[in-house]
């Protein structure tokens, strides 16, 4: 069950358009596909050119703002959102701290694309971030839970450390979305996400967004998006608006089933399970206070690669695919992408299938090991 304030925000998300409709207006969000606007003497800044803003992108941002409880800016992908943050706040001579065990393209962006511009990347494992040296660090970017190992970091404690050191804290909240975890309420300066995952939720779009209550920062982010051209087209924004209406419903089923699947897998001693909702997760206590639910992603280590592949094949309704957060349960063997995990490690993303047949599929997979 979500806290009361988040339930109110879900209500706002669902009704912010309908409550403003005049008689005869379409109930559904119209999709406006335009690159240009008729210009008067003093055009509004958001009605000049489609690379600056479009009505459908703004409508989606209003829904994201309800999810985040803060002004939000849509980007063409999660990576575009991360790049937008880095380009907006970092300058030559700055250091940026990123997780050694987080999403690998974030490290590639900081370590390869930004390094020649004089930005130094420092990597620290998620569980050691609180003790990291923050001198000359302008930006700390964390993921909690981390992708793919599902380690957590205490965002309240980290934001206090960052504030004392003069560093900005950005949280990649892709795993949770603003409905399961509120980094801004815990003191972060910026929250961002790949909406390609649970927010989009149907494996059919690539998008991302950034949210912050700092108006100056938001202005810089909007300028970066404008000048790098990282705004999405209206169709993707329209699809995300539609998906956001069912986000809470989907998350509820996914999180409930994920707990059952994690418990079922953990009852088999050939599988090592990592799930923040299980008592043996090293950060279980933190997960209970920091997250509204422990999520829908499970780390499951099988004895070896063959066993992991056999589990997926025998289960029958576990899609071998990368990414996570979709309606379908899927599994990604992360060692194939170079993550520092065992060959038999699967990142399982639990979908919205009814729980009983899903658990039967898990049983079939386990029986085939
Ligand atoms: N952040 C995390 C935690 C991710 O897992 C991903 C993609 O897998 C990204 C960011 C990048 O998102 P996108 O693929 O939408 O650019």
Name the DSSP letter for residue 29: P
Largest CA distance in the chain: 72
Phi-psi bin for 177: left (phi > 0), alpha (psi -120 to 50), beta? Answer: left
Cα–Cα distance for residue pair 58/32, rounded to 1 Å: 11
* CATH value at residue 218: 3.40.640.10
220 plus 276 within the same structural domain: no
- Residues 94, 162 share a domain: yes
Judge if 234 and 260 occupy the same domain. no
- Kindly state the percentage of the chain with pLDDT values over 70: 100
Domain end, chosen from 192, 217, 244, is at 244
Beta-bridged to residue 191, according to DSSP, are 171, 211
Q: What is the rounded average pLDDT of the residues 110-123?
A: 97
- Where a domain ends, among 187, 218, 244? 244
pLDDT in tens, 15-63: 989 999 999 999 999 999 999 999 999 999 999 999 999 999 999 999 9
Q: How far is the CA of 38 from the centre of ligand 1 (A)?
A: 36
182 plus 61 within the same structural domain: yes
Q: What residue numbers bound the domain in which 308 lies?
A: 247-367
- What strand order describes the sheet that includes 330-333? 272-274, 297-301, 345-349, 330-333, 319-320
One domain for residues 267 and 301 = yes
Shared-domain flag, residues 275 and 338? yes
Written as six digits, the tokens of 173 are 């909240």
Coil, strand or helix at 343: coil
- The number of distinct structural domains making up the chain is 2
pLDDT at 54: 98
Q: What is the pLDDT of residue 16?
A: 86
Tokens of 135: 């001198």
Query: If you take atom 11 of ligand 1, which residue's CA is the nearest one?
Result: 78
pLDDT (tens digit, 9 = 90+) per residue, 254-276? 999 999 999 999 999 999 999 99
Expressed in angstroms and rounded, the spacing between residue 84 Cα and the centre of ligand 1 is: 14
Please give the Cα distance from 130 to 154 (Å, whole number).
8
**164 has a pLDDT exceeding 90:** yes
Residue-wise pLDDT tens digits, 274-313: 999 999 999 999 999 999 999 999 999 999 999 999 999 9
Q: Which of 141, 190, 194 to mutate to test the pocket of ligand 1 (most atoms within 8 A of CB)?
A: 194
Q: Do residue 318 and residue 266 come from a single domain? A: yes
Beta strand ranges found along the chain (DSSP E): 72-75, 95-99, 120-124, 137-143, 168-172, 190-194, 208-211, 272-274, 297-301, 319-320, 330-333, 345-349
Tokens, residue 319: 């899609």
Q: Are residues 305 and 356 in the same domain?
A: yes
Residues 323 and 361 in one domain: yes
For residues 206 and 117, state if they share a domain. yes
At 257, which CATH number?
3.90.1150.10
Within 6 A (CB) of ligand 1 lie 77-79, 103, 143, 147, 172, 174, 194, 196, 206, 208, 323
Q: Are strands 345-349 and 297-301 parallel, antiparallel or unpaired?
A: antiparallel
Give, using CA atoms, the residue closest to atom 15 of ligand 1: 78
Pair (94, 210) in one structural domain: yes
Kindly give the number of the ligand 1 atom that is closest to the alpha carbon of 174. 3
Nearest residue (by CA) to ligand 1, atom 4, is 103
Tell whether 254 and 234 lie within a shared domain. no
- CA nearest 221: which of 73, 114, 67, 78? 73
Tokens of 312: 């997926």
Nearest to 67 by CA among 185, 166, 157, 149: 185
Q: Which of 226, 244, 262 is the last residue of a domain?
A: 244
CA 324 / ligand 1 centre spacing (Å): 9
């Amino acid at each position: 069950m979500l806290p009361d304030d988040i339930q109110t925000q879900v209500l706002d998300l669902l009704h912010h358009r309908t409550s403003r409709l005049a008689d005869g207006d379409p109930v559904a969000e119209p999709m406006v596909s335009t690159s240009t606007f008729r210009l008067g003497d003093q055009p509004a800044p958001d009605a000049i050119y489609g690379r600056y803003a479009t009505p459908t992108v703004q409508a989606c941002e209003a829904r994201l703002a309800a999810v985040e409880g803060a002004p939000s800016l849509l980007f063409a992908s999660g990576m575009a959102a991360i790049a937008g943050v880095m380009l907006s706040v970092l300058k030559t001579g700055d250091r940026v701290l990123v997780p050694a065990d987080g999403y690998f393209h974030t490290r590639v962006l900081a370590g390869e694309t930004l390094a020649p511009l004089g930005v130094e990347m420092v990597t620290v494992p998620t569980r050691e971030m609180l003790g990291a040296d923050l001198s000359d660090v302008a930006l700390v970017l964390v993921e909690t839970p981390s992708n793919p190992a599902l380690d957590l970091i205490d965002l309240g404690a980290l934001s206090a450390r960052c504030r004392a050191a003069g560093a900005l804290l950005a949280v990649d909240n892709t795993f949770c979305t603003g409905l399961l975890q509120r980094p801004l309420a815990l003191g972060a300066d910026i929250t961002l996400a790949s909406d390609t995952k649970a927010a989009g939720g149907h494996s059919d779009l690539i998008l991302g967004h950034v949210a912050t209550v700092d108006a100056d920062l938001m202005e810089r982010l909007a300028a970066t998006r404008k000048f790098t051209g990282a705004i999405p087209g209206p169709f993707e924004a329209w699809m995300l608006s539609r998906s956001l209406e069912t986000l809470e419903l989907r998350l509820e089923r996914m999180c409930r089933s994920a707990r059952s699947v994690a418990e079922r897998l953990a009852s088999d001693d050939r599988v090592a399970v990592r799930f923040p909702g299980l008592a043996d997760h090293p950060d279980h206590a933190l997960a209970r206070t920091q997250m509204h639910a422990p999520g829908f992603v499970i780390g499951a280590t099988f004895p070896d690669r063959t066993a992991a592949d056999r589990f997926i094949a025998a289960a029958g309704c576990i899609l071998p695919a990368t990414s996570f957060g979709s309606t379908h349960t899927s599994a990604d063997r992360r060692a194939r992408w170079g993550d520092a995990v065992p060959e038999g490690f699967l990142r399982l993303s639990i979908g919205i299938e009814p729980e009983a047949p899903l658990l039967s599929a898990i049983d079939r997979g386990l029986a085939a090991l």
